[in-house]
Structure 1
């Protein structure tokens, strides 16, 4: 059972929980428009823009064979704008009457394909479409079938097939036939929400965040939280469910859009395998495309560990991150990592900013931001993790596994105790020098196999850097110290636990499951 720390929860007031990017938030407030309508009528449609139009569009994503099952579909939506509007029965839905679809029905498409294919292989292929209701013949193309009472947009597949069959010098029986395997792909639907009688194009590429307005006919914006490299984050009130949520608005950029689709895919997978919300990972509520942007709707949490520690230090109160609380934070993080790693997912960007407080009094946290995460079976990127929390094997260009997340957690816990970043964001070679000074030399095998070793080590395995002013190579002598002296901590159990997480050799570093069994978790603190 999660502990309840004695005393009043000094941070219980919602208005006092928002420590995230407070300076930036204040600047945003100065330019925000004042509300002109009440929350009940802000969502009321104008005479020329009566209703929102919702279109479902299927997205195909790779399925990794080690994972079981698919993604859950969306629940049916019937969303009132507000009380006064609901009284008139106005809503938007996913039904055919509320959406326009530009293409022939699925069955007509199948019929055209079958007509244009005379060969036996083509007949067999088209039969697979006709039997799409047979569970034995399911394929990724099932995404083009109707979704509840509506239909997906399909870009004239029949005409494309006909054109291909009648192409120059290409007979129908010469076309390649592919067996579409249900184990290779997954499909999830992306709702596209437009104003009725309006295209989806916006006058400006910048989406202004205006307080006390309603987005997508459902989310009433109440507070600006902050921004990141590719998104803005606001707090909103869900007019359908009546709860406060976090709305992540992705910037209008193709790369950001693709990365966010990956995050949605992973969050759906994680939430599906954790229906009871027991593994301390962010909950995904909704996602959709609106005003040329992807929106991700998640549970609303409190400040991240970086901002909260900064607030705690500046307020001059008692230190929040005691050994007892560090135990509970470490345990929850390890349980989250063990769960992710069991699903074959590497977080790849664990840092204080990506761990958010859920309850200050009970010291509950949630791990967020799977936008940089990957599967173990992916083609792993050479550069992952924020530099101050980057594992040595990643710096050296070695192959890596989920244990890089354990290294990041060790850096985070050391920082929470000392109040200072363990490896400041300096040049990589300087971080390597500090690692060696704290934990000893990097073993020769790692240096020999690293793709990036030559950038930081000589052939004699000495650290060096190029002096830009003199264009000369200069050697770096690491300053020897210990974790106890550096952190000014003399709790042997905590130091041993950190030393395990911060093992330079990944082969000797524990897994999340092994780290949970460390004796430090049995140590009692008052």
Structure 2
């Protein structure tokens, strides 16, 4: 080929390639026509070579134009998928988590995320469609994970989890493969439940109830019992939690066997099984706990006296069953008391801290602090009286909407007890294992107060601990009550007086409580 013509062809080819992405179709045709009109005094092989190079340039131009169009439109369906997935996640969130603030945060988050994707598209237009889609998916997964972590809000003894609460939903035709070895758990040993997953060949999971220290709880329908609703408690997969789960399983079986007619208001256990090394307990389904009832119907003001009376009656029945079976619950509080949909029936639940009376040990941090009896803090032998104290704290909270004893530590809890009932007897203090932490040799109380200036703890010796709280006034709270209501509130005050006795041996027992006028007499 003529060297001059070769140089002209190469120069023209480079010009076309360099400007192909921005040139219009008409200019491209003009350039190609220029090449076609080049006067070649060469043989047929040279003409074939020119024609071959022309086809290569045309194919290259078509490929570049196709990629450019694909880049501009590739993210629209991806964003649509992300929005759909976000909606699906919201369907499996607990209802208590839904609020206008959460919705507003989701909308703002989605808008910001969309703008980030748009900016990324402009700055990285040279990447392939596959790489861009992968990047969007990674960002979406990170965004959804952060939103679930922000929204997840359980009760006080529950923890945040850095992992996602759920794996992706699965199809209806999913086949359970329990024998497969895979990472089904998060870093804390919680099982990553999947909506639509079949447990034990019969329980179809459709919702998530909550997550606690020992387990997470899901909602499911039993295919073998006409799609009956059940709650399944899935114990964390580690040795300590598994032992705790086995103990709770034993307690539930014992209580259910002692109450075959379900009259004493302890949670019913249907069956149990193992799923991927997790102990699972199938339990009766209930709507919400009393903490949620208080937030929804009596926040800061409490519930009606009739509701408190009904709940008290059922709780005292559950305490009677506990005493009959020699079981101490050791963690009674509103969070561990469930109610049905109509809020008329309650069940005592969460027996993970329960123990047989013969196995009880002295431990200063047994029971949640606000519901902890004085004998626990002092280090005295414990029995069923600690559960009665916890029920008393719960009843006060149900009626007033306020915590009965809100101490920040055990020492402050003791002070609050004495603010209500006066000083502990010397006899009790002498028997106390932990007396030196709270009393001196003369039985004076060593109050651990926080200095407001230095912000350090200082010991204040208090010798005179006269009662300073008026329980009657706290219950009435300035209300103008009718005569029947006033009489009922006075009865509640008398019942609480008999519960909040510092000496556990003199505290009212379940049978006596059931016969108390507050329970036995209905409100006219």
Range class of TM-score, shorter chain: 0.5 to 0.7
* 1:410 to 1:474, Cα distance in 2 relative to 1, 3 A: same
Post-superposition offset of 1:206 = 5.1
- Distance in structure 1 (CA, Å) of the matches to 2:254 and 2:244: 16
Please say which of residues 273-282 and 375-384 is displaced more in the overlay.
Answer: 375-384
- Distance in structure 1 (CA, Å) of the matches to 2:152 and 2:503: 40
Match of 2:290 in 1: 305
Match of 1:372 in 2: 353
Post-superposition offset of 1:463 = 2.0
Within the alignment, does 1:409 sit opposite 2:409 as a pair? no
1:236 is paired with a residue of what secondary structure?
A: strand
Q: Is the 8 A contact 2:248 2:352 kept in 1?
A: yes
- Which string of whole-angstrom CA distances, capped at 9 and with x for unpartnered residues, describes residues 390-441 of structure 1? 1111110001111111111110000011101111141111111111111122
- Distance in structure 2 (CA, Å) of the matches to 1:330 and 1:229: 27
Match of 2:262 in 1: 277
Question: Which of residues 509, 512, 521 in structure 1 aligns to 2:510?
Answer: 512
* 1:345 to 1:504, Cα distance in 2 relative to 1, 3 A: same
Within the alignment, does 1:260 sit opposite 2:245 as a pair? yes
- Distance in structure 2 (CA, Å) of the matches to 1:471 and 1:496: 37
Question: Which of residues 226, 230, 254 in structure 1 aligns to 2:210?
Answer: 226
- Which string of whole-angstrom CA distances, capped at 9 and with x for unpartnered residues, describes residues 223-251 of structure 1? 11111112111111122222111111111
Match of 2:418 in 1: 436
Match of 1:164 in 2: none
Question: Which of residues 464, 468, 472 in structure 2 aligns to 1:484?
Answer: 472
Post-superposition offset of 1:344 = 0.9
Within the alignment, does 1:524 sit opposite 2:522 as a pair? yes
- Distance in structure 2 (CA, Å) of the matches to 1:20 and 1:248: 19
2:474 is paired with a residue of what secondary structure?
A: helix
Within the alignment, does 1:37 sit opposite 2:171 as a pair? yes
Question: Which of residues 309, 312, 325 in structure 2 aligns to 1:327?
Answer: 309
- Distance in structure 2 (CA, Å) of the matches to 1:509 and 1:31: 44
- Distance in structure 2 (CA, Å) of the matches to 1:379 and 1:367: 20
* 1:33 to 1:401, Cα distance in 2 relative to 1, 3 A: closer
Q: Is the 8 A contact 1:355 1:365 kept in 2?
A: yes
* 1:440 to 1:347, Cα distance in 2 relative to 1, 3 A: same
Match of 1:24 in 2: 152
Match of 2:403 in 1: 421
* 1:471 to 1:506, Cα distance in 2 relative to 1, 3 A: closer
* 1:406 to 1:394, Cα distance in 2 relative to 1, 3 A: same
Match of 2:337 in 1: 355
* 1:258 to 1:33, Cα distance in 2 relative to 1, 3 A: closer
Match of 1:111 in 2: none
Q: Is the 8 A contact 1:236 1:244 kept in 2?
A: yes
Q: Is the 8 A contact 1:201 1:292 kept in 2?
A: no
- Which string of whole-angstrom CA distances, capped at 9 and with x for unpartnered residues, describes residues 18-45 of structure 1? 666765279999974564523xx33x45
Match of 2:494 in 1: 496
Match of 2:435 in 1: 453
* 1:306 to 1:19, Cα distance in 2 relative to 1, 3 A: farther
- Distance in structure 1 (CA, Å) of the matches to 2:458 and 2:407: 24
- Distance in structure 2 (CA, Å) of the matches to 1:320 and 1:474: 35
- Distance in structure 2 (CA, Å) of the matches to 1:433 and 1:278: 38
* 1:225 to 1:330, Cα distance in 2 relative to 1, 3 A: same
- Which string of whole-angstrom CA distances, capped at 9 and with x for unpartnered residues, describes residues 69-118 of structure 1? xxxxxxxxxxxxxxxxxxxxxxxxxxxxxxxxxxxxxxxxxxxxxxxxxx
Please say which of residues 462-471 and 363-372 is displaced more in the overlay.
Answer: 462-471
Structure with the bigger RCO (C-alpha within 8 Å, sep 6+) is: 1
Match of 1:286 in 2: 271
1:485 is paired with a residue of what secondary structure?
A: helix
Structure holding more strand per residue = 1
When normalised by structure 2's length, the TM-score is 0.62
- Which string of whole-angstrom CA distances, capped at 9 and with x for unpartnered residues, describes residues 190-249 of structure 1? xxxx43xx4698686553222222233322111111111121111111222221111111
Q: Is the 8 A contact 2:204 2:221 kept in 1?
A: yes
Structure holding more helix per residue = 2
- Distance in structure 1 (CA, Å) of the matches to 2:370 and 2:282: 29
- Distance in structure 1 (CA, Å) of the matches to 2:181 and 2:224: 25
- Distance in structure 1 (CA, Å) of the matches to 2:218 and 2:191: 13
Q: Is the 8 A contact 2:302 2:399 kept in 1?
A: no
Post-superposition offset of 1:473 = 2.5
* 1:271 to 1:471, Cα distance in 2 relative to 1, 3 A: closer
Question: Which of residues 202, 207, 227 in structure 1 aligns to 2:191?
Answer: 207
- Distance in structure 1 (CA, Å) of the matches to 2:267 and 2:96: 17
Q: CA RMSD, aligned part only?
A: 3.0
- Distance in structure 2 (CA, Å) of the matches to 1:284 and 1:211: 23
- Distance in structure 1 (CA, Å) of the matches to 2:264 and 2:358: 22
Question: Which of residues 363, 381, 386 in structure 2 aligns to 1:399?
Answer: 381
Post-superposition offset of 1:320 = 7.2
When normalised by structure 1's length, the TM-score is 0.62
* 1:30 to 1:313, Cα distance in 2 relative to 1, 3 A: farther
The runs of 5 or more residues in structure 1 that have no matched partner are 1-14, 50-193
2:370 is paired with a residue of what secondary structure?
A: helix
